[in-house]
Chain A
Amino acid sequence: MADTLLDIRGLNVRFSTPTGDVHAVKGIDLQVSKGETLAIVGESGSGKSQTMMAIMGLLASNGRAEGSAKFQGQEMVGLPLGKLNQIRGAKITMIFQEPMTSLDPLYKIGKQLAEPMMQHRGLSAKAARAKAIELLKLVKIPDPERRVDSYPYEMSGGQRQRVMIAMALANDPELLIADEPTTALDVTIQAQILELLAELKQRIGLAIVFISHDLGIVRRFSDRVAVMRTGEVVETGTVADIFANPQHPYTKMLLAAEPTGRKAPPPDNAPVLLEGRDVDVRFSMGGGFMGGKKLDIHAVDHVDIRLKEGQTIGIVGESGSGKSTLGRALLRLNHGTGAIRFGTDDISEASRQEMRRHRRQMQLVFQDPFGSLSPRMTAGQIVTEGLLVHEPQLSKSDRDLRAIKAFMEVGLDPATRNRYPHEFSGGQRQRIAIARAIILKPQVVVLDEPTSALDRSVQKQIVELLRDLQAKHGLSYLFISHDLAVVRALSDYIVVMKSGKIVEEGSTDQIFDAPREGYTRELMAAAFGK
């Protein structure tokens, strides 16, 4: 093609590690034409980011690239640093997945925007500042004359990502590489950023390589799609072709990975298991014994909630909406106020000792499958630790038997129970966390974003596991998530939270099919692109 901008041929990326080489990208071919948007889709570890890092000369120090990647005829692989620095930041720019940390926290954003312009185009500091303000206006940062002197910490994640986009556009590049630019953002912000990118693409006519694990976003946003798996491109095609007529089984699997199904509500006369009335949680930050200003945060603002036996309530909302805090308050894990009943017992004022009796019936699974398991205990020890407290009469071999049963129940090979958490994948770790909760035969499990850190295909498996366990043991779930697709598949009742308050609640069908509140509609639109 005459208008090929980026031509990748036989690109390999290898990382040398103490346990041997890791072949992250295995001789792939990819082309990007002028003005087109190519989406590279794949799950974690597929090599989609490393392909682009290799072209930009940004591989970690133990990584090396071989093969060919020509940008406008210029070979990028093995290009000396001086030459590379004339291209990156000028003709090819990049935005990253981590808006919170991608900007230098110690400098004002105006200076960071100006730096590449002064570097590549020789602008004076004054001219670059003027251009920076113009760019902030372009990416719709309100009050750009003032915000140009803000530090990154004074801006939200969405605003920081806008600043990154402004920086990427500063030198009128030919190619923009967007590496999961919206993954770390809330859905409504995500939709705004994507809208901005689409609009700018049309106006400026630059080519975009859009790296993502989220097929829903890709569909709305790109012209062509390349699907990557374990370092190889398994399929490429136009968006229409890939979605309508996928060829490769892996592509089909990815497309089918969206969690499906709905849960039937419990019978109307099902008894209420966990009830919170007028739950209220405040945090105060700052201040000390020498004085200083205090900042009060009203995390949960007088909320009522009732969980019936066999019910799954999905609590949805964006970060900071108070959904996790509410979950913890109901388990009496923070210092919230309000009347909380568990079964027939009033536990609002129960002491730590008294709560211990109830704890085995109320379990918690966390979002982070990496941080929530002790790295110094084996999986088996982690799963059976609760038994030491709640069933101290069990012998070591009894506990081991229970561990084997629990492992089988969550679909893990019991033979792996003597391994340590780092030897498991993210999805397997989440299964361990679930086994740890289930082994105690609880009645209520609070699931705090249990699938958010996982790939879509793994997410689907975990959703199915949770569903099976619920049917088998008659569990009740409080399912906290910002991921509406997963919530829809698992819950029969939805509570929508914003700034500590319940905005809307109702059955899943009602909320998803006929949302009443503007905020709920906004969430739906952002998540499903309606």
Chain B
Amino acid sequence: MLRFVLRRLMSALPTIFIVVTLSFFLMRVAPGGPFNLERPLEPQVLENLKRAFLLDQPLVVQYGHYLWNLFHGDLGPSFIYRDFTVAQLIANSLPYSMTLGAWALLVAVFGGIAIGSYAALRQNSFVDYAVMTVASFGITVPNFVLAPILSFVFAVVLHVLPAGGWGDGGPKNLLLPVISLALPQLAVFARITRGSMIETLRADHIRTARAYGLPTRVVVIVHAMRAALVPAVSYLGPVAAAVLTGSVVVETVYGLPGVGRYFVLGALNRDYTLVMGTVVLISVFIVVFNLLVDILYAVLDPRVRYE
């Protein structure tokens, strides 16, 4: 197992390298630069800044330089927030994003599996149709629509929740962002779980369990649920990615000081190193999460063995 984990992490390096390379060059293709301000800088100042940040060098040299630093764990200084390195900015904002993301993931996974299983057990009933209609709605409405609507209804109209900001990070501040981030994924989980649960409930080994007089509770929770979770687990990888990219939108809408917001600000201001830093962070995170999914697979299904 350990060898498998190490091998998987090693094989992720080329992926991350490609992501870094593509982002690096794509960003340079975008017009403008970090020092194109509304009021142009004095040419001499601009010249000095460019020299300080190596922007006067050919692109390939800059790229090599970035890779070299990255290889040593150095994400470089921020172009815009001049008093901070990118690593510091990420370290400051990551806890906020982690809290938000973790809650959203928990809500999506456990909520989705519970709702999906319930709908499967009541297949073709009113409850089933109702749940699945809401789930379809959750999938079709993107979070950049959902987040402002929730904010408008609960903050502006009803005045029950704050419209944004982290505050003390309590339930009041987190509720709307977590829901906005979790709901679309919860809907997907509910649908996947419902489908695989219905299939599993028809399986031969479930018939065996019933034929041997096991109570419905045992049949469903012990025998059906575990098999039905396998497809849901395989969707955890994409969900983790979706929560990460979704947090970019949600953090911006609710004005939360997380990594996602720095990503947006960095992109808008052409803060090359900041954007690159968040890209690296996100790709590492997705790789690690996919690895976790594979390990979970082996835990759920004894037939899965990794060398």
Contact = CB atoms under 8 A, between A and B. Distances in A.
Interface of A: 56-58, 61, 81, 84-90, 93-94, 96, 98, 101-107, 115-116, 119-120, 151, 153, 164, 167, 290-293
B226 interface: yes
A293 B216 CA distance: 41
B215 interface: yes
Nearest to A293: B307
Which interface residue of B210, B211, B218 has the most chain A CB atoms within 10 A? B211
A221 B218 CA distance: 36
B139 to A, nearest CB: 27
Interface stretch (B33-41, B76-84, B106-114, B199-207): B199-207
Give the dominant DSSP class at B's interface.
helix
A86 B213 contact: yes
Interface residues on B, range: 20 to 34
A93 B210 CA distance: 11
B208 A96 contact: yes
Contacts of A87: 213
A87 B211 CA distance: 10
B102 interface: no
A88 to B, nearest CB: 5
Nearest to A94: B211
A113 to B, nearest CB: 10
B303 interface: yes
A55 to B, nearest CB: 11
A116 B215 CA distance: 10
Given A101-B205, A106-B227, 4 more contacts: A89-B212, A101-B204, A105-B227, A115-B212
Top 8 A-B residue pairs of the complex, sorted by shortest distance between their CB atoms = A89-B213, A89-B212, A101-B204, A85-B213, A104-B205, A116-B212, A88-B213, A94-B211
A81 B217 CA distance: 12
A57 to B, nearest CB: 8
A202 to B, nearest CB: 24
B70 interface: no
B223 A104 contact: yes
Which interface residue of A81, A104, A116 has the most chain B CB atoms within 10 A? A104
A115 B302 CA distance: 19
Nearest to A82: B215
A56 B302 CA distance: 31
Interface in B76-108: none
Nearest to A86: B213
B211 A58 contact: yes
A98 B300 contact: no
A102 B215 contact: no
Contacts of B204: 96, 98, 101-102
Contacts of B214: 85, 89, 115-116, 119
21 contacts: A85-B215, A89-B214, A101-B205, A102-B207, A102-B208, A104-B205, A104-B209, A104-B227, A105-B205, A106-B226, A115-B209, A115-B212, A115-B214, A115-B218, A116-B214, A119-B215, A119-B218, A151-B303, A167-B208, A290-B7, A291-B7
B301 interface: yes
